[in-house]
Structure 1
Amino acid sequence: MQFFLDTANLDQIREVGELGLLDGVTTNPTLMSREGGDWRKQAALICEMVDGPVSLEVIGTSHEEMIKEAKDLVSFGTNVVVKIPMIPEGLKALRELTERGIKTNVTLVFSPTQALLAAKLGATYVSPFVGRLDGLSQSGMEGVDQMRTLFDNYAFGTKILVASVRHPLHVLEAGLIGADVITLPYSTITQLMHHPLTDQGLAKFLADWEAFQKGE
């Protein structure tokens, strides 16, 4: 399973990249707005820093607006993936972008049938938002499991990119289901690295070694 970082923060991207855990980056207008400044400059820098795919999102809601923005977004780098919302106009744009050979990430997916439509139209990725469904007392991961079955049944090449991740358990569940990609906030990646017994064990080893060096 590939790990994407869900951020527009350059320091976070750099740190996770140095760990060797960065397979790609996903951004959205909210994440870009948090960084302030010129979003175009920020997007270009992200595309330069990341070897893997970088999802940049359109903000238009009509087919024509999305196509126009997509043409602009791909100019930031060959690794750009254009994020398209799961709405009827978005599906129209998706079909055209697929025909043009532009990689796409269909976002705001909340049901397996939405994912099925995107896959039929050639989406590169679909992004089910599991955390938001969990917040409504629905099982986001159950939908991901159903998407996996649908895609495998019909040999779709579309990759399942689990998004709206809230905690490490989402990562475990996505991996057990067989999701292709998971996009994580920086905080969740750091959580994955830590366990209280690891910290306690290391502290005990170091304390024992220090006592041995002192001859105690």
Structure 2
Amino acid sequence: MKIFIDTAELEEIKQAVSWGIVDGVTTNPSLIKKAVDRRKGKISMEDYIKEIVKVSPGPVSLEVIGRRADEMIKQGMLLHEKFSPFGEVAIKIPINPSVNGDENLDFDGLKAIRHLSSEGISVNTTLVMTPEQALLAAKAGATYVSPFAGRIDDYIRANMGMKIGKDFQKGDYLDHELLRSARNKVLSDAMASATSIREIYKSSLVHSAADRSHDNGIYSGVDLVTRILRIFRAYNFKTEVIAASIRNSRQVREMAELGVHIATVPFNVLKDMIKHYKTSEGMRRFMDDVVPQYRELFMEK
């Protein structure tokens, strides 16, 4: 599995690259602006992006801001022209740029993906929340699709009446196995008084209990990525899946177990991945056990 770092902070990118485990970078305009603002006018946004592209050992995903196909195509080609001389660039295109659903823009993202891909420009399809969206992006020729695992976890928790900051924190792991067990218990209780299959199937109480714990049959962000990979493998799509909106190291592990092509990981999650209490404890014991005679082996004569 490739690891992209999800940040716009140049020092974080350099540090992670020095560890030898980073294969690319994902970022967004607001993160870039914050990073540039922290430098208090010492560097322009364009030059700052060039530095990110130079440092990255692999593709840097850069986002368009238009919503119509012609705008996104023009902006994507401009970003590619400006920054690809300095390294590898992928253009981030939203799978569906419509905001209100009534603007006839639903398929403009696919049009832009098709056009840019036909020009040989790598496209990272972003804001993917369903396997259906991922399928359409792959058929349009996207180089990458980025399902937002963490946001789906948040959405499912919100459907169950849970509030971020009160019932869970942004970095908390969604235990989908526990959630499934709880759902089955609630369903069992809801069905207990029914006298027929028809009554169970038509029960609003049963449907309410069932529907709150998933998003159209998707039970977690990890489950979303699982189903996308299943579809891609069934039809031999060349499009690679980037597990995005990663919130914790356990999510990274579960994505790796699925065989996802890429996970884009925040800097703080990368640092958490290397830590374990028993590793630190083992190091302390190891250092305590080093005898003087062994230490002398490393002394220069």
Deviation at 1:60, TM superposition (A): 1.0
Give the match for residue 33 of structure 1: 33
Confirm whether residue 179 of structure 1 aligns to residue 260 of structure 2: yes
Deviation string 1:123-149 (CA, Å, 9 cap, x unpaired) is 000000000111122411111111111
Paired residue for 2:92, among 83, 88, 104? 83
Give the match for residue 128 of structure 2: 109
Between the aligned partners of 1:40 and 1:65, the Cα distance in structure 2 is 19
What TM-score comes out, normalization by structure 1 length?
0.94
Give the match for residue 186 of structure 2: none
Deviation at 1:62, TM superposition (A): 1.1
Deviation at 1:101, TM superposition (A): 1.0
Confirm whether residue 170 of structure 1 aligns to residue 290 of structure 2: no
Local SS of the residue matching 1:157: coil
Local SS of the residue matching 1:94: helix
Local SS of the residue matching 1:205: helix
Deviates more, 1:75-84 or 1:29-38: 29-38
Give the match for residue 161 of structure 1: 242
| Greater fraction of residues in strand | 1
Number of aligned residue pairs: 212
Contact map agreement 2:17 2:57 (CA 8 A) in 1: no
What TM-score comes out, normalization by structure 2 length?
0.68
Between the aligned partners of 1:80 and 1:35, the Cα distance in structure 2 is 19
Deviation string 1:151-199 (CA, Å, 9 cap, x unpaired) is 0111100000000000011111111111100000000100001101111
Paired-residue identity, %: 41
Contact map agreement 1:8 1:42 (CA 8 A) in 2: no
Between the aligned partners of 1:213 and 1:178, the Cα distance in structure 2 is 46
Between the aligned partners of 2:274 and 2:66, the Cα distance in structure 1 is 38
Deviation at 1:30, TM superposition (A): 2.4
Contact map agreement 2:149 2:245 (CA 8 A) in 1: yes
Between the aligned partners of 2:149 and 2:30, the Cα distance in structure 1 is 18
Confirm whether residue 198 of structure 1 aligns to residue 279 of structure 2: yes
State the one-letter code of the partner of 1:206. Answer: M
State the one-letter code of the partner of 1:86. Answer: I
Larger radius of gyration: 2
Local SS of the residue matching 2:141: coil
Deviation string 1:5-32 (CA, Å, 9 cap, x unpaired) is 0011111111111110110001112221
Contact map agreement 1:124 1:158 (CA 8 A) in 2: yes
Paired residue for 2:76, among 66, 70, 73? 70
